[in-house]
Amino acid sequence: MKRWLARIGITLGVLVVLLAIGGYVVYSGGALEGPGKIEGKALPPEAVAARVKLQRDAAPEKAKQILFGDLHVHTTFSMDAFFRSLPMVNGEGAHPPADACDFARYCSQLDFFSFNDHAEALTPEHWQETKETVRQCNALAGDSENPDLVVFAGWEWSQVGLVAEKHYGHKNVIFRDEADDQLPRRTIAAPGQSRQALRGGGQGAPRNVRALLVPLLEFSERQRYLDIAKLQRSAMSVPDCPTGVDSTKITERCHEEAETPRELFEKLEQWGLPTLVIPHGTTWGLYTPPGYSYDKQIAPEQNHAMQSLIEIYSGHGNSEEHRAWREALNENGQLTCPEPTENYEPCCWRAGEIIRSRCGDAPVDECEKRVKDARAKHLAAGMAGHLSVPGHDIEQWGNCGQCEDCFLPTFDHKPGGSVQYIMAKGSFAEGRPPAYAPMGFIGSSDVHTARPGTGYKEFARRRMADASGPKSAEWRERLAGRELPGPKLPESYDVDPVKLAQQGVPPFAIPNFERAASFFTTGGLVATHSTGRSRGDIWDALQRREVYATSGERILLWFDLVTDAGTRPMGSSLSLGVPPRFKVRAAGAFEQKAGCPEWTTAGLSKERTQHLCAGECYHPSDKRRPIAKIEVVRIRPQVRADESVTELIEDVWKTLECESGPVCEVEFDDPSFVDGARNVYYYVRALQNPTPAVNAGNLRCERDASGRCTNVKPCYGDFRTPYQDDCLAPAAERAWSSPIFVRFDAEAAKKAKAEADNDTDGESKP
């Protein structure tokens, strides 16, 4: 008996020692990641001059210069970006702010970009280091009136609501100036789920034990795990700022939050700084609760003049296109699962079909009850709906939740947040005039590896796009916190995302990242029509909405309204009483040469070029890809709340074919404008012929003769798809102009008609 007790004592002692060692490993030894060191100097003047010359050859006479940028860039100062850098998901290691400066200057060769790390985990120290990196990068850019690169400071407000009524989504906040007294002292974060995820969801003992074991499971790589634990503790150690106090009056080191866009705008107004707030991912379904639409953000109290741009495309997909279907219907205050349509199957419906396949010998009535129950539980689980079906295989979900006829759509596309829906929708509060949310269009990357402008070549999916995942089956189960795929039970589960987090399931294991990995592409770009290259010139173009978006290719695009008094560019707003006339000019992007220009390898070391650029840079030939066609979209905003938004969006309204050649120039008008007697938005898309692009096939459906998706072959971010597989498929790369807002002027129309009648009478006289 004594010997047995002694053995227990020894075992317990060993366990205590191991836990003590594990605790020491996790809770000490970590270091906060610094901003890194910028290696490259300003580009040689001839490199920038070459950009201008190549563009001038395709531009109309006296045109402004088109500058390309990326206003959505994350470094490993962001917690999710840091996680993607870890060895367990085949991460590359640290990508601090200095990397973004060198990458933009030498790899992608952009004209401008901004930092947008998530405010929820951006410590005061990291915000200060970000601002300092902005100044250092700009100081290396040469003449401030003609710099090779302009960098803006900013952050991302990453709001997530568990129910549609409290979900607003994500917005990038960007500031014009760079001096310390011209920038806020602290970032402004969103509360709720984003902050909860940082805390580990109120992590319980199971989660703590797993966290304790991670550095021990991969001991040779332990430092990276120690560092992320240090970052998490550092972020959570920052005390909350006092509420109800003017932001500018708070001097202490603290974490500030804004619960809604209205509160965010109020706090930004207190600083009184030139600011842009840019919504993005408005159709992205990964974190978005069922039944969401953008409606409440069109109301004036949740909108603001500083929110004059919207990100229509990023490396997380295309948020442009509206569809009539919805993933959930609201009936009598309850969400219900709609039936599939020709190009869309709701995932709640698919959940029921998976359970149906498991009914076996169960009576028909019992089986139907389980199917109906599965659909309801999927909807109730929100972002964790896929977890409501026990033991599912990812392929069983097929192509559910996806917009099958959209261009490179976001994962689980939510049409109620689409840019087209936002443009058409009005807010009609009693006692107030109708309100709308007109915005110019930009593209950007949303990259999480400090690589602004990754779409210059379609390569290195796991480095230039955001797909990531466990490097082995063992790590997949460790990260999920359970055995996978688990038992295939005949009935669905009740799932509550909040309770899952409280039970120790990691927040990143709750949304369906496994399927979402097939929708991460290389990034988009924002293009400005600028009077010059300076910071002020770029900012002014953004402010007046003389901007457009591309899917990553450097397509040149001009879209003008032509009047007797001259032309008005994209982004303009004006009143007319006669049919509007438009002119479009587009030039395709340059085909790329392999490798990097000589001045890249002269400016960066070989090792840094390989680490950042993966051996490939923006390296244009002198041959442009042809523009295949111009598509015109016409949208008439609501004049009554009961008007069908679907019927107000005309996509495609006109298709204008382009002749073969480096430049396409077309014109069109709208003879029905005056008879319609209402305001209209017009914008154009310039499409190139399809070329291979990363993840352009999304879930890679195999289709039958009727076009129905019968099987999927996901492009995983984890070990199930080879690391070197770029999952290339054809995509018609494109550019989207900002809309031209044409208001109907009834008095001008009456006057124009009277003049036309007088001219006709005069011509008819002998």
Kindly report, residue by residue over 692-748, the tens digit of the pLDDT.
999 999 999 999 988 889 999 999 999 999 999 999 999 999 999 999 999 999 999
For the chain, the residue count is: 766
What's the pLDDT at 56? 86
The Cα 663–Cα 391 span in angstroms is: 54
The answer to whether 428 and 348 have CB atoms below 8 angstroms apart is: no
What's the pLDDT at 1? 56
What's the pLDDT at 205? 37
Q: What is the SS3 assignment for 502?
A: helix
- Give the pLDDT mean for 568-581: 97
- Give the pLDDT mean for 75-104: 96
Position of tokens 């991969």? 218
Q: Which of 373-382, 483-492, 734-743, 756-765 has the lowest mean pLDDT?
A: 756-765
Residue-wise pLDDT for 639-664, tens only, equals 999 999 999 999 999 999 998 778 99
Q: What is the SS3 assignment for 666?
A: strand
Q: Is the pLDDT of residue 510 over 90?
A: no
What's the pLDDT at 203? 35
**Is there a cis peptide before residue 485, judged by omega within 30 degrees of 0?**
yes
From the centroid of its chain, how far is CA 445?
Answer: 7
The answer to whether 524 and 702 have CB atoms below 8 angstroms apart is: no
Q: Is the pLDDT of residue 763 over 60?
A: no
Residue-wise pLDDT for 374-395, tens only, equals 999 999 999 899 999 999 889 9
Q: How far is CA 366 from CA 96, 359, 375, 387, 629, in A?
A: 56, 8, 15, 22, 54
Spatial CB neighbours of 51, under 8 Å, sequence gap ≥ 6: 109, 111
Q: How far is CA 119 from CA 31, 122, 198, 234, 745, in A?
A: 20, 5, 11, 14, 44
Q: Is the pLDDT of residue 288 over 50?
A: yes
Residue-wise pLDDT for 195-215, tens only, equals 555 555 333 334 445 666 788
- Banded pLDDT at 756 (limits 50, 70, 90): confident
What's the pLDDT at 500? 76
Q: What percent of the chain has pLDDT over 90?
A: 79
Take residue 591 and report the two structure tokens written for it: 């085909």
What's the pLDDT at 548? 98
Spatial CB neighbours of 321, under 8 Å, sequence gap ≥ 6: 403, 406, 407, 409, 413, 415, 418, 420, 651
Reported pTM: 0.94
